[in-house]
Structure 1
Amino acid sequence: MSRRQQVLSSYRSLLRATRYAFDGDHRVFTAARQQSRQGYETGRHELTSDPKDCDEIDKRLEHASGVALLLRSNIVQGELKPGKTGNENMATVDPGESIAQSDDGGVYKLRIHKYTELGDNEAVKGGKTSLAGTAKKINWNMSE
């Protein structure tokens, strides 16, 4: 794969990650996409195909890949639904969503998608440096 194709692929991957992370929040979604575009435009004008710039391009590609992974797997959006209690909404939670009680009596509706990392605390307590493979399935059946 050519260097140009690698850069375009990483850019598309980053844009997809912003779509997963910030879907439904137009202001943050637009800002994230503008930030991504600005970073790639800056790189386009600063870097050439000189061998000395190849290392810098590789570092930036690795950074973009890490940011895309972080956005896709670790960002969860929450929307405050005021005036509702958690018990009223427990039966109406859809798969891909979760709820959390706020201090003022409202409920935060969390948008969890298929790429969200659902790690457990045991991985952190055990001193593991990677959470890969620690994801657990959520049982959405509240009757159990």
Structure 2
Amino acid sequence: MSALHAYRHLMRAARVAFDGDARTLTAAYESISRGFRENQNLPANDPTIAPAIAHAEEVASFLRSNVVQGRKDGETYKLRIHKDTERGDNDTIKLGNQNIKIGGEHKCCSA
């Protein structure tokens, strides 16, 4: 994947995640642009480019699926959940204080 594709995916993901919040969306756009501008003069064969592009794609995926914004509406909060928001079943939460195996290692809920 090219840097341009990663840049576009990241910008679109920010727009999805922060839609309706102009201040946060502007800050996200500026941060994304600054990050890409800092590396724009790297040679095409630089070994740091591929991991940076992969990181940008991971961030874009995370923004699309895991960031949910909420607004206070009186005494409650309204969440803006969109079609890309990940909806898990929280199976590991239902296990309580048991040790669970993640990536081959046993983890406790407080670890």
SS state of the match for residue 72, structure 2? strand
Which 5+ residue runs of structure 2 have no aligned equivalent?
104-111
- Where does residue 28 of structure 1 map in the other structure? 24
Q: Does 1:120 align with 2:89?
A: yes
1:48 to 43, 47, 50: 43
Counterpart-to-counterpart distance in 2, 1:59 and 1:7: 11
Q: How many residues align?
A: 98
Structure 1 or 2, whichever has the larger Rg, is: 1
Amino-acid identity (%): 45
Q: Distance in 2 between matches of 1:41 and 1:70?
A: 22
Separation in 2 of the partners of 1:128 and 1:17?
28
SS of residue matched to 1:15: helix
Distance 2:15 2:49 in 1: 24
Pairs within 5 Å for 1:68-107: 68-82=60-74, 106-107=75-76
Q: Select the structure with the greater relative contact order (CA < 8 A; seq sep ≥ 6).
A: 2
* Residue matched to 1:63: 55
RMSD across aligned C-alpha pairs, in angstroms? 1.6
Q: Distance between the aligned counterparts of 2:101 and 2:70, measured in 1?
A: 29
Distance, in Å, in 2 between the alignment partners of 1:77 and 1:68 is 16
User: Which is richer in helix?
Assistant: 1
One-letter amino acid of the structure 2 residue matched with residue 40 of structure 1: F
Q: TM-score, normalised by structure 1?
A: 0.63
Q: Give the superposition deviation at 1:8.
A: 0.7
Q: Structure 1 residue runs of 4+, over 6 Å off?
A: none
